Homo-oligomer: A and B are copies of this chain.
């Protein structure tokens, strides 16, 4: 069921050291482009653009390639791979950064290989908005561009982020980021302000409370799957966005109805993502399991 419409994904590839519930998971695979690529690859071919160091293991490149991720855009630079270390609160609702070693990521300048420039679906993962704009300058006019971001860029690259908004079709951000970027405490008003800034569609992620999709006056609200336990929340947002755009690329249908389905697929893959540490469960989910969980969302929400 794979399409020939590739999804181009630009973002970080990293090692994460995760402290969760008294356990430490050292230097497991992480990064926004990693999670998003594995998620999108559940639906079709992916072209990844990122940078790693000489320490990046063959096992990790093999994992990505085996999933259908084209690594022609994965630069291997002198030095070590980006490494983030963090500790989650007991209820996993928040986390603190213990250490950030940007390493080779500090000088990351995305270089889009010629063969990737015609990708019709593009995900600008969470990196400096200046680089996100730079990516758009390097590629042909894509059919659909999704941009993710984070609080850091809202703080220090506000103008660049607003400029980026005018050039993307879909802005994906979490509730706190939506409030911060729009200056509106109420999420409906925040979404309206963000839509006025440019993107045709805004999705606000609310973690365990689900996601909201805004398009003109149309609103779609999807709860998250209630889970009896979460192993590791890392990468859930990147997974959500990656699965969403991967599904859109496969179906090649940008209607509101299909965008709603894409939000459900995003939530399906995010629910797998948090059930395992790092990308374990996201990687192991089978097409059958993905379809089952999509139907689970139907039962969960039907009335």
Residue ranges of A at the interface with B (Cβ–Cβ < 8 Å): 90-91, 185-189, 192, 206, 209-210, 212, 219-224, 226-229, 257, 260-261, 263-264, 297-298, 300-303
Q: Which residues of B contact A90 (CB under 8 A)?
A: 185
Which chain B residues border A212 with CB–CB below 8 Å?
A: 223, 226
Q: How far is the CB of A223 from chain B (nearest CB, A)?
A: 4
Q: Specify which chain B residues have a CB less than 8 angstroms from the CB of A186 in the assembled complex.
A: 227-229
The number of times this chain is found in the oligomer is: 2
Cα distance, A270 to B263, chains bound together (Å) = 26
Closest 7 CB pairs of A and B: A221-B223, A260-B303, A209-B209, A188-B228, A188-B226, A221-B300, A91-B185
CA distance A223 to B301 in the complex (A): 9
Alpha-carbon separation in the docked complex, A271 to B292 (Å): 33
A188 to B185, CA, bound (A): 29
Question: CA of A229 to CA of B188 in the docked complex: distance in angstroms?
Answer: 8
Question: Given that A210-B223, A223-B210, A223-B222 are contacting pairs, would A228 and B300 also be in contact in the complex, using a CB cutoff of 8 Å?
Answer: no
Contacts of A226 in B (CB 8 A): 187-188, 212, 219, 221
A230 nearest in chain B by CB position: B186
Name 5 extra pairs, CB < 8 A, besides A186-B229, A221-B226.
A212-B223, A219-B226, A220-B302, A257-B303, A301-B301
With both beta carbons as reference points, the residue of chain B lying nearest to A228 in the complex is identified as: B188
Q: Can you show 6 pairs from A to B with CB atoms below 8 A apart? A: A186-B228, A186-B229, A188-B226, A189-B228, A206-B209, A264-B303
Q: How far is the CA of A226 from the CA of B214 in the complex (A)?
A: 11
Q: Assuming the A-B contacts A209-B209, A260-B303, A302-B260, are A188 and B227 also in contact, with contact meaning beta carbons closer than 8 angstroms in the complex?
A: yes
> Closest residue of chain B to A261, judged by CB?
B303
Contact A303–B222 (Cβ < 8 Å): yes
Most buried by B among A226, A263, A300: A226
For A224, the closest partner residue in chain B by CB is B221
Nearest CB of chain B from residue A303's CB, rounded to whole Å: 4
